[in-house]
Amino acid sequence: MLTTSKSAETMSRTYVARAQKRDLCIGIMGLGYVGLPLSEAFLSAGFRVLGFDIDSAKIDALTSGKTYIAHIPDQRIAAMMATGRLEVTSDEGRLAAADALLMCVPTPLNIHREPDISYVRHTTEMIARHLRPGQLVVLESTTYPGTSDEVVQVILETTGLKAGVDFAIAYSPEREDPGNIDFSTSSIPKVVGANTDAEREMAIAVYEAITKVVPVSDMKTAEAVKLTENIFRLINIALSNELKTVFQGMGIDVWEVIDAAKTKPFGFMPFYPGPGLGGHCIPIDPFYLTWKARAHGETTRFIELAGDVVTRMPKIVIEALAEAMSAHLQKSVAGSRVLVAGLAYKKNVDDMRESPSLHLIHMLRERRAHVDYHDPHIPLVPTTRDHPEFSGMKSVALTEANLKSYDCVLISTDHDAVDYEFLVRHAPLVIDTRNAAKNISADLRHKIVKA
């Protein structure tokens, strides 16, 4: 931890006092699944908010009081705009007006499973073009330990301004869980790390206005916290999938095992198997650490093994589907009609990022199956980075006639809005990767194969 200069102490005291009076403009860079709820939280706390996004369609929607995220309805967007304290823009020249700039941008992997921090780099370069003394810059995107020091700070200091003296820099990882009705931005504690006391106090003053803050000693520690959270989930999800494979060979239902095990009030936390990993965190974030570890001459065999287990899951599901079609229908996958139920990466959201359903559709098409999908939250497939060939696909309605026209329905996402009793009753065969059909009538259970 670096010492704090007198000038930095003065900057911090002034900034903290303004934060306590809500006399700051909070700039949110990236108005997606993280940035939009974050903007709402700061508006609710009484701050002025400058929302920035390079996607002009998002700016147009917000200006019209319309949403583009299913679990954030139009009414909430309209209420945000009605405060009169929200400005949304794609004009980077407005960044100088913000007192804090919080970066909520993607951090994907490239084709070699290595970090792609181009979005972080480009956004930081944009900030640098408008950086002024007294501003606070915070990266919220999940990344490897050292990014804020080695990339963000280095770029910002090319301006001639010095971090911890002229401006402040901190790291506070996003912890959003899209669609989770039990937790919101304001009810999830915020980890905050900075390299000096003055910078940390500035960041704490901003975030404690919207939620509980958990300070840590420096930025790389805060970066490591987020990776640890998602690595924990990756490893336990991989374990549940491996147990599913083992128990299936013994005629044991892994979902029943986990539900019984979770009744133990200590020492156990339930994680459930599925068709693969999806979302913006768990399939990606752990491999930021494996990459960084190699730079330090270390290996992460446990993490990489867990990654291999879950990466294999779509293939295992397709193999189970092929076996079930052969055994139950005496048909091969080639030439068959398959309906994938659920395109989002998890239930009750419209988020398709890294969704295993996309991989399943791709693999089925490789086997020459005709594949459609149904998802009540995604009526039309937008263009995606990994599967642009699916752009324009439309969700098929779950009617009796439609279900009977398919040889098989593959449940990939267990949305609550789907009537699984109806689905199983009218589909010839159902491959269930989520235990979604666990409560359907006993006389229909012969149609279900768990995978």
* 446 domain residue, yes or no: yes
Q: Which domain holds residue 47?
A: 6-217
pLDDT, one tens digit per residue, over 103-151 is: 999 998 877 778 899 999 999 999 999 999 999 999 999 999 999 999 9
- Residue 100 is predicted with a pLDDT of 98
Distance of alpha carbon 271 from the chain centroid: 17
β-strand partners of 130: none
* 297 domain residue, yes or no: no
**CA neighbor of 243 nearest in space, from 263, 261, 264:** 261
Are 200 and 326 contained in the same domain? no
Are 328 and 205 contained in the same domain? no
Q: What is the DSSP string of 166-226?
A: TBEEEE------TT-TT--GGGS-EEEE-SBHHHHHHHHHHHTTTS-EEEESSHHHHHHHH
| Sheet of strand 370-374: strand arrangement | 370-374, 337-341, 408-411, 430-432, 448-450
* 425 domain residue, yes or no: yes
Are 189 and 337 contained in the same domain? no
Count structural domains, the chain.
2
Are 212 and 345 contained in the same domain? no
- Do 154 and 121 form a contact (C-beta atoms < 8 A)? no
* 200 C-beta neighbours (distance < 10 Å), count: 25
Domain boundary among 168, 187, 217: 217
Are 51 and 188 contained in the same domain? yes
Distance CA 416, CA 124 (A): 40
pLDDT, one tens digit per residue, over 164-202 is: 999 999 999 999 887 777 888 999 999 999 999 999 999
- State yes or no: pLDDT of 386 exceeds 80: no
- Residue 183 is predicted with a pLDDT of 84
* 242 domain residue, yes or no: no
Distance CA 124, CA 129 (A): 9
* 232 domain residue, yes or no: no
- State yes or no: pLDDT of 3 exceeds 60: no
User: What DSSP character marks residue 433?
Assistant: S
By CB atoms closer than 10 A (0-12, 13-18, 19+), residue 291 is: middle
pLDDT, one tens digit per residue, over 205-228 is: 999 999 999 999 999 999 999 999
Are 48 and 191 contained in the same domain? yes
β-strand partners of 136: 100, 168
Q: What is the mean pLDDT of the chain?
A: 93
- Residue 279 is predicted with a pLDDT of 63
Q: By mean pLDDT, which of 82-86, 223-227, 279-283 is the weakest?
A: 279-283
Domain boundary among 178, 198, 217: 217
- Residue 382 is predicted with a pLDDT of 87
Q: How confident is the model at residue 275 (pLDDT cuts 50, 70, 90)?
A: very high
Are 93 and 209 contained in the same domain? yes
* 320 domain residue, yes or no: yes
- Looking at 25, 104, 281, 408, which residue is catalytic? 281
List, in order, residues 6 or more apart from 6 with CB less than 8 Å away: none
Question: What percentage of residues in the chain have a pLDDT greater than 90?
Answer: 82
- Residue 282 is predicted with a pLDDT of 64
Domain boundary among 201, 217, 233: 217
- State yes or no: pLDDT of 411 exceeds 70: yes
- State yes or no: pLDDT of 335 exceeds 90: yes
Distance CA 189, CA 208 (A): 9
- Joined together, the tokens standing for residue 157 give 């200091």
- Residue 443 is predicted with a pLDDT of 93
One-letter amino acid at 314 equals P
Helix (H, G, I), strand (E, B) or coil at 411: strand
Helix (H, G, I), strand (E, B) or coil at 136: strand
* 243 domain residue, yes or no: no
- CATH of residue 336's domain is 3.40.50.720
Angle, CA of 314, 315 and 316, to the nearest 5°: 90
The predicted model scores a pTM of 0.89
Distance CA 367, CA 406 (A): 16
Distance in angstroms between the alpha carbons of the first and the last residue of the chain: 50
Are 34 and 160 contained in the same domain? yes
- Do 403 and 421 form a contact (C-beta atoms < 8 A)? no
Average pLDDT over residues 410-418: 97
Distance CA 27, CA 8 (A): 21
- Residue 281 is predicted with a pLDDT of 64
Are 98 and 209 contained in the same domain? yes
Are 320 and 208 contained in the same domain? no
Are 37 and 145 contained in the same domain? yes
Between 113 and 232, residue with greater pLDDT: 232
* 289 domain residue, yes or no: no
281 counts as catalytic? yes
Distance CA 291, CA 288 (A): 5
Are 198 and 329 contained in the same domain? no
